[in-house]
A and B are shown apart, each in its own frame.
Chain A
Amino acid sequence: MVKYVIKRILILIPIMLAVSFVVFSILYFTPADPARIMLGASAPQEAVDQLQEELGLNDPFLVQYGRYLSGVLHGDFGTSYRNGQSVFFEIFARFPVTLTLAGLSILVVVVLGITLGIISAVKQYSILDYVLTVLSMLAASIPNFWLALMMMLFFSLQLDILPASGLDDGWRSYVMPVIALSLPPMAEVVRMTRSAMLETIRQDYVRTARAKGLMERVVIWRHALRNALMPIITVIGSNFGSLLGGAVVIETVFGLPGLGNLVVTSIRSKDVPQVMAGTLFIALIFCVVLLIVDVAYTFIDPRVRTRYLKEKKPRAKREGKEASAA
C-alpha cells in the first residue's frame, strides 16, 4: 500500500516536468518584449537589445527551457519582469488564498453534494427528490462568474451583509466565492450520487443487509454508499479541474489575491515568468488532487487494492480486464 502511494508520488515528477515543458512552450510564443517592459518605453533600442542578450532571450528554445528547468531545480522560479523580484515571493503569498478557496469549496462539494444526492436517491420520486433534481440541473448550467455577480448584487449591494471584494473581512470574504465556486460542481456530484445510489440500493446485498435487521442509516451509509462511491469520486476528481479553473475567474471577480488572479494580471502585463510559475503551481495542486483520488480508490475498493498489490499478475491479462472495464 505504502509502496503504491510512493510510486504514485514518484510518477508526479515526470508528469510535472512534462507539464512545465508544455506550459513553457506555449508561453514561449507570447508576444512579449521583456527587455522593453523592464527598461520602460523611453529606453534606447541598444540598451534593450543588450538586456535581451543578457537575459538569454535570443538563445534557442531548448537552451532557454533547460536554463529555466535548472533554475527551478535550484529553487529559482525566475524573476518577474515587472518588479525584478523572484516570482516565488508572489506565489508564496498567494498560494494560501487559492488553497483555502479551493479546499473549502471541495469540502462543500463533497459533504453537501453526497448528502443531498443520497437524500434524493433514498426518497426517489418524492417532492424533495424532484426539487433537488431540477435545482441540480439548473445549478450545473449556471456560469459561476454570473452567479458571483448576482450574489454580489444581492448580498453586497442590496443587503450589504457580505463584502463584495478583497479579503479584509476574514471568513465572510470567503462565503460568496466558495458558494459561487462550489455550486456547479456540487450539482454534478448530486446527480452522480443520486444515480449511483439508485443503482446500488437495488442490489441484493443491500436487501440482505436490510433483511438481517440493520438500521436503515447503516444500510445506506455503510453498505450502499460505500459501493456507490467509485463513480462519485471520479466525478469529484474530474470536477476539481473545472473548480480550479473557475477559481481563476472567481478570484478575478471578487478581487481575491490568489494564484488565479495573479496569473490573469500577469498575462495582462505580459509577465511571462510569473504566469509560468502561477500556472505550474495550479497544475501542481490539480495533480496532487488527482493523485489523492487515485489513492482513495484503493482505500475504498478492495478490488482495486488487490490489483495493485499483486503486481506479479501477467500484464496482458490485467490490461484485458481494464479494456473490458472501459
Chain B
Amino acid sequence: MNLFSYKAGKAPIPPGGPAVPVPTEEEEYIARERFQFWHRFCENKTAVFGLVVLAIIILAAIFANLIADPNLVTFQDVYSRSVAPFAHSEAELERIAAGEDVVTHILGTDGYGRDIFARIVYGARSSLTIAFATIAISCLFGLLFGIGAGYFGGVLDTVVMRIVDVFMCLPPLLFSLSIVSALGNGMGNLILAVSITMTPFFTRVVRATVLTVSSMDYIEAARANGATHTHIILRHIIPNCLGPIIVEATISLSVMIMLAAGLSFIGMGVLPPSPEWGAMLSEAREFMRDAPWMVLAPGLVIMVTSLSFNLVGDGVRDALDPRLKK
C-alpha cells in the first residue's frame, strides 16, 4: 500500500493486467489516516527540515563508499598530521608540484594523519547502526514486557514493573557503562548494553499505553466475540499502541546517538581504529589547542543528527495527535 498518496475508492486498473481488488472499508480508513498523518507532518516546516537533514545523513551513511574513499578512514599519513581544513601539508605540496593527484582534506586531518571527512562519513554508519539497532531491540523487548505487564496484569505486572523500577534507579549512561565494562568494548557489546539500558523505558511507555487501550470498549467487544488473547494483542492492542511508541522511539534515537557517542568518548564503546564520532572527539582532545577543527566537526555532526531526530520526533508526535500541538 502506498504510504503517501490516497485516492478514495478509485482502484487503479492496470491495462491488461489482473484486476486490482478494490480496497475494503477498513483498508480505506487506514489509507486515509496515513494520508492525513503525512499531510499534518508536512505542514510542520521544522519537522520536514529535520527529515530532510536526516535523509541526507542516512543516505551519506549508506553510500559512504561513493562519497569518501574507504582507504582514507584508517590510512595514517605520517607526513600530513594535523592538516587544517582545505590545506595541504608540505609533503602533499611537493607531490602536487610533482604533478600527482592529492586528496584535499576538506575537514582537515587528525593527529594521526587520517582524513576527518572520510572518518565522519563512515562514522555515520556506526552511529546510525548503533542507534537503529538499539531502538529495534529495546522496542521489541519493551513491547514484549510492556504488553505482558499491561495486558495480562496481576502478578506478572507487579513483577515486571518492580524489576523496571530497579533498573530505572541506575542512570542510563552509568548502567550501559557497567555492562560494557563487563562484556568488553566493541560495537556489538555497545548495542547490547544500550539496548538493555533502554528496554525498561520502553516497557514503561508500552505498559502505560496498553493499560489505556485495554480498557477500551472495542477490546471488550473483541473478547465478547470470543477472540483469543493472541488475536486481541496482534490485531487490536499493538496497532493502537504504535503511535506513542513510534514517537518515543524517534525521540529516543537522539538519546541513543548521544549515549553511544558518550560511551565511546570515555573509551568504553567502539574501539579506536574504527571511526566513531564520540571516539574521534576523544582522540582529538590532546590536539585541541593547535587543531580546533578536530573537535569541531565530529561534535557538530553529533549535534545535527540528534537535532534532526528530535525535530522529526516532535513532528511525528504533533501529527499523530494534533490536540497536543501548541
Contact surface of A with B, Cβ cutoff 8 Å: 15-16, 18-19, 22-23, 26-31, 137-138, 140-146, 149-150, 152-153, 157, 195, 198, 241-246, 248-249, 252-253, 260, 263-264, 267-268, 275, 279, 282-283, 286-287, 290, 323-324, 326
Contact = CB atoms under 8 A, between A and B. Distances in A.
A140 B285 contact: no
A275 B169 contact: no
B302 A143 contact: yes
Interface string B102-130: 00000000000000000000000000000
Contacts of B288: 149, 152-153, 157
Given A149-B288, A149-B299, A137 B311 contact: yes
Contact of B262 (A28, A143, A241): A143
Q: Which of B174, B258, B267 has the most CB of A within 10 A?
A: B174
A248 to B, nearest CB: 6
Contacts of A137: 307, 310-311
Contacts of B298: 146
A286 B211 contact: no
Contacts of A22: 166-167, 170
A145 B262 contact: yes
B7 interface: no
B55 interface: no
Contacts of B165: 15
Interface stretch (B21-29, B88-96, B176-184, B235-243): B176-184
Nearest to A278: B174
Given A260-B174, A279-B174, 13 more contacts: A15-B169, A19-B170, A23-B178, A26-B178, A29-B183, A30-B182, A137-B307, A138-B307, A143-B302, A145-B262, A146-B298, A150-B296, A253-B285
B266 A264 contact: yes
Contact of A248 (B177, B179, B211, B295): B177
B261 interface: yes
Given A149-B299, A264-B177, A245 B171 contact: yes
A248 B258 CA distance: 14
B182 A26 contact: yes
Interface in B254-297: 254-255, 258, 261-262, 265-268, 278, 281, 285, 288-289, 292, 295-296
Interface in B216-249: none
Interface string B148-177: 000000000000001001111111111001
Given A18-B166, A146-B299, A249 B215 contact: no
Contacts of A248: 171, 173-174, 177, 266
11 contacts: A26-B179, A29-B182, A141-B307, A143-B278, A144-B262, A246-B262, A249-B262, A264-B268, A279-B178, A283-B170, A323-B211
A138 B197 CA distance: 25
Main SS of the interface on chain B?
helix
A287 B183 CA distance: 26
Contacts of B182: 26-31
A246 B169 CA distance: 15
B326 interface: yes
A-B pairs, 7 with minimum CB distance: A245-B173, A146-B299, A141-B307, A245-B171, A326-B208, A18-B166, A244-B171
Given A143-B261, A157-B288, A198 B281 contact: no
A138 B172 CA distance: 22
A268 B285 contact: no
A141 B169 contact: no
B174 A282 contact: yes
B166 A19 contact: yes
A10 B311 CA distance: 42
A283 B310 contact: no
Contacts, number: 140
Nearest to A266: B181
B304 to A, nearest CB: 8
B184 to A, nearest CB: 7
A252 B173 contact: no
B303 A143 contact: yes
B5 interface: no
Nearest to B173: A245
A29 B179 CA distance: 9
B266 A252 contact: yes
B212 interface: yes
A283 B171 CA distance: 7
Contact of A324 (B166, B178, B212, B258): B212
A275 B289 contact: no
A108 B179 CA distance: 31
B299 A150 contact: yes
Contacts of B199: none
B12 to A, nearest CB: 41
A143 B285 contact: no
B306 interface: yes
Contacts of B168: 241
Nearest to A195: B326
A273 B162 CA distance: 26
B310 to A, nearest CB: 6
Contact of B211 (A23, A150, A326): A326
B292 A244 contact: no
A242 B178 contact: no
Interface in B76-106: none
Contact of B171 (A15, A140, A242, A324): A242
Contacts of B162: 18
B95 to A, nearest CB: 32
Nearest to A270: B181
Contacts of A26: 178-179, 182
A22 B163 CA distance: 10
Contacts of A282: 171, 174
A286 B169 CA distance: 6
